[in-house]
Amino acid sequence: MLTTNLDTAMTISVIIPVHGAANKFKQCLGSVAAAAKTFDEIIVVADADEAAARFAEKSGIQVIRTGKRPLGPARARNLGAEMASGDLLLFIDADVVVPPDIGKAVLSAFQRHPHAAALFGSYDTDPAETNFLSQYKNLLHHYVHQSACEAASTFWAACGAVRRDIFIQMQGFDEKFSVPSIEDIELGYRLNAAGHSIRLVKTLQVKHLKHWCLRGLLKTDFFQRALPWSALILQKARFINDLNTKRSERFSVVACALLVLSPIFWPAAGALISIVPAALIAGLNWRLYRFFYRKRGLLFALGAVFWHGFYLFYSGIAFGMTVAKFLLGCDRFRVAYNPYAEKSR
């Protein structure tokens, strides 16, 4: 366990991995530069992104180039950490805008929690993109983080800080995640298992610039998050009762499965039987649906209820697929869908 107290002399190194973020990265870097006096150094890791590297250099920012082939955010962040000299490593995604006092907020949070090894924040409720899926996805993320336990069990790298000595001790992000996936969640699992404290700082919020479309949402949620996260849960042989895996989420997934399957297996009474799981989903997620309504109105909330049900559906499919493949001992599946597994198998 970490016992060292934090003082005001602690320094912060900001690390921003970037690959193909284009104008979003420019907005991100502009916001980070505006908050530069609260940092000690800023490091941009251009992951096969020469345009971003040149833009950052013109802005006077230190740049690390990975070459012509992208290595993924896990490796990019680790490269930045190797170069960093700060006591704290503040990881920022290239598609977020940070508040001007973020450095002070991070230091203040560590001062309030001197035993914390890491901390992270959340997206705010005002994403840059105005289309429905972008608004829905951002608000769902915000709600999940804002309603989670402040004594966290995992980590979030879009806006998360780690003590550099602990990060090195834990050997950083697992570089077997060669694409954006759950590399930050996996690091949080290891930190937690090693006895280190992680804090969720709900007042630490950043604006998300990403545009979500149906294809991108399904690719990210299903292939890059749900499948590898399910595999990680099975490998660790335990659920964490927090964020997307808390008990209410798990019960909601089961209820969604019953809602879908009841008309198939009991067609005569399917509609009547479906009332029970539908009511259970509504009861378990009433606060979330009310949150959507308060933030964006009735029509948005109705659409969000549908998409949240769809999210529960494909999350259940992902976990069911993973369980089935693990029970069958299918190593090829583990390699394809679980970046945490050894690629050399």
Residue pair 46/79 in contact by the 8 Å Cβ criterion = no
The mean per-residue pLDDT over the stretch 47-65 comes to 96
CATH architecture observed for domain 12-212: Alpha-Beta Complex (3.90)
pLDDT single digits (tens) 266-297:
665 556 667 878 888 899 999 999 999 999 99
Answer yes or no: is pLDDT of 131 > 70: yes
What residue spans define the domains of the chain?
12-212, 243-337
Answer yes or no: is pLDDT of 331 > 90: no
Answer yes or no: is pLDDT of 236 > 90: no
Tokens of 20: 């193909």
Grade residue 344 by pLDDT with cuts at 50, 70 and 90: very low
Answer with the residue of higher pLDDT: 295 or 334.
295
Contacts of 278 (CB under 8 A, 6+ apart): 255, 259
Residue pair 127/134 in contact by the 8 Å Cβ criterion = yes
Residues 283-300 as b/e (b if ≥16 CB within 10 A, e otherwise) read ebbeebbebbbebbeeeb
Answer yes or no: is pLDDT of 250 > 50: yes
In the prediction, which pLDDT does 332 show?
45
Which helix (DSSP H) or strand (DSSP E) does residue 11 occupy?
Answer: none
Answer with the residue of higher pLDDT: 256 or 224.
224
In the prediction, which pLDDT does 232 show?
85
pLDDT single digits (tens) 142-192:
999 999 999 998 999 999 999 999 999 999 999 999 999 999 999 999 999
